[in-house]
């Protein structure tokens, strides 16, 4: 850090992304990417002509993509904001709506706490119950913004739509941000409720269910006044926030939704079989509706398991946080990748005997 940095910024704790080591080829089950490639349509449309067009700025309104998202989610284009990953949507939402503070879980997406610090927001941390479920009562009428990942990360647990609606209804003077990064793997979206409630903002992404993590495209859906707010921040920071190739890729992804629906179903099937196999090996797991499994063995700590899997060429995510240090979060890969994982875990457990 330089001596020139604003000391307040110099003290910020940064978000730590999952590792992306280059030293060898790993089976990568640590950052919740889809294990399947983007659709053939995406791969065909991002072509040499698109690269040649990179001399031109991208569309600052993301007009084509906004139109397609509006059609897909049955809302108006004025209800859609496109961000550089849903991280940017969340970033702008924290900037806009959390002056009175923000309530979110102790175990949830780590970036919420980082944004809260960045903007000097009072973080009202609500501990999950012992079984890692959210207690909805914690979020009723809280007098500040609410941020909930649904499904939550790293647990994969889901709140029913009616519960989210009750939380939104009980906080009419504050924005409730529902982060649906993992919704397409079996949960139900609350996007339809955005038509009914002016204080509901849904954040979502092309990074997980649409296999475009590297393209960095996310979106927010909400009342048109909320969308204007997010655009206000965008047009005061980075008007060309989505590059041309990513816009092309994301539009093509929406044109091949059937392909992704099939892959997402396959992930859900693989999640069920891998979860059953882990339970048969004595693991405790949450009932994840996301594309990851949150699992703990009483025979080996999470950190040890993470290290031993890495030594065998398999990356999973371990969080060194008191409440969940015994767990690992395992992204659902292909059936073959999960077989390799289960084989490795079996070996590791046998080596303990
Ligand atoms: N929300 C949650 C709950 C996540 O786990 C992630 C992935 N790190 C994101 C949002 C951000 O994803 P992206 O910026 O790639 O859309």
CA of 343 to the centre of ligand 1 (A): 29
Atom of ligand 1 nearest to the CA of 179: 1
236 lies in the same domain as 324:
no
In this predicted model, what pLDDT tens digit does every residue of 140-151 receive, in sequence order?
A: 999 999 999 999
Give how many domains the chain has, as a whole number: 2
pLDDT at 353 over 80: no
Atom of ligand 1 nearest to the CA of 87: 14
Q: Give the C-alpha separation, 193 to 160, whole Å.
A: 13
185 lies in the same domain as 306:
no
Establish if 1 belongs to a structural domain. Answer: no
* 134 close to 158: Cβ distance less than 8 angstroms: no
Residue owning tokens 């004025």? 78
Establish if 142 belongs to a structural domain. Answer: yes
209 lies in the same domain as 248:
yes
53 lies in the same domain as 98:
yes
165 lies in the same domain as 143:
yes
* 203 close to 177: Cβ distance less than 8 angstroms: yes
Domain termination site, one of 241, 256, 271: 256
Indicate whether residue 109 lines ligand 1 (CB < 6 A).
yes
What's the pLDDT band for 19 if we cut at 50, 70, 90? confident
- DSSP codes, 20-43: ---SS--EE-SS---SSPPPHHHH
CA of 353 to the centre of ligand 1 (A): 39
Atom of ligand 1 nearest to the CA of 205: 16
Domain termination site, one of 256, 282, 309: 256
Indicate whether residue 218 lines ligand 1 (CB < 6 A).
yes
Where residue 269 sits, what CATH number does that domain have? Answer: 3.90.1150.10
146 lies in the same domain as 284:
no
Helix (H) or strand (E) holding 306: helix 302-311
Average pLDDT for residues 305-313, to the nearest whole number? 97
Range of the domain at 137: 40-256
Indicate whether residue 85 lines ligand 1 (CB < 6 A).
yes
244 lies in the same domain as 311:
no
214 lies in the same domain as 327:
no
Q: Give the C-alpha separation, 118 to 268, whole Å.
A: 35
Percent of all residues in the chain with a pLDDT value above 90, rounded to a whole number:
97
């Amino acid at each position: 850090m330089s001596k020139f940095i604003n000391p307040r910024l110099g003290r910020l704790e940064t978000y730590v992304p999952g590792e992306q080591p280059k030293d060898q080829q790993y089976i990568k089950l640590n950052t919740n990417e889809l294990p399947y490639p983007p659709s053939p349509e995406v791969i065909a449309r991002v072509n040499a002509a698109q690269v040649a067009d990179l001399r031109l700025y991208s569309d600052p309104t993301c007009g084509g993509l906004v139109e397609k998202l509006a059609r897909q989610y049955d809302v108006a284009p004025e209800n859609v904001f496109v961000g550089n990953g849903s991280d940017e949507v969340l970033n702008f939402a924290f900037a806009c709506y959390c002056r009175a503070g923000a309530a979110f879980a102790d175990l949830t997406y780590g970036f919420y706490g980082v944004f809260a610090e960045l903007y000097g927001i009072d973080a009202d941390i609500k501990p999950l119950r012992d079984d890692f479920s959210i207690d909805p009562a914690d979020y009723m009428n809280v007098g500040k913004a609410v941020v909930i990942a649904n499904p939550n990360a790293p647990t994969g647990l889901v709140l029913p739509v009616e519960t989210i609606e009750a939380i939104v209804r009980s906080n009419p003077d504050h924005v409730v941000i529902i982060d649906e990064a993992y919704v397409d793997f079996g949960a139900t979206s609350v996007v339809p409720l955005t038509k009914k409630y002016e204080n509901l903002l849904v954040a979502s992404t092309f990074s997980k269910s649409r296999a475009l993590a590297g393209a960095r495209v996310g979106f927010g859906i909400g009342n048109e006044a909320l969308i204007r707010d997010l655009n206000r921040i965008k047009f005061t920071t980075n008007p060309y926030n989505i590059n041309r190739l990513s816009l092309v890729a994301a539009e093509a992804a929406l044109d091949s939704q059937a392909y992704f629906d099939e892959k997402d179903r396959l992930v859900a099937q693989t999640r069920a079989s891998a979860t059953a196999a882990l339970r048969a090996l004595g693991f405790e797991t949450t009932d994840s509706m996301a594309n990851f499994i949150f699992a703990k063995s009483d025979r080996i700590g999470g950190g040890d398991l993470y290290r031993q899997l890495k030594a065998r060429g398999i990356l999973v995510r371990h969080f060194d946080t008191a409440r969940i240090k015994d767990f690992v979060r395992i992204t659902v890969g292909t059936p073959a990748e999960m077989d390799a994982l289960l084989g490795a875990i079996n070996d590791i457990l046998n080596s303990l005997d």
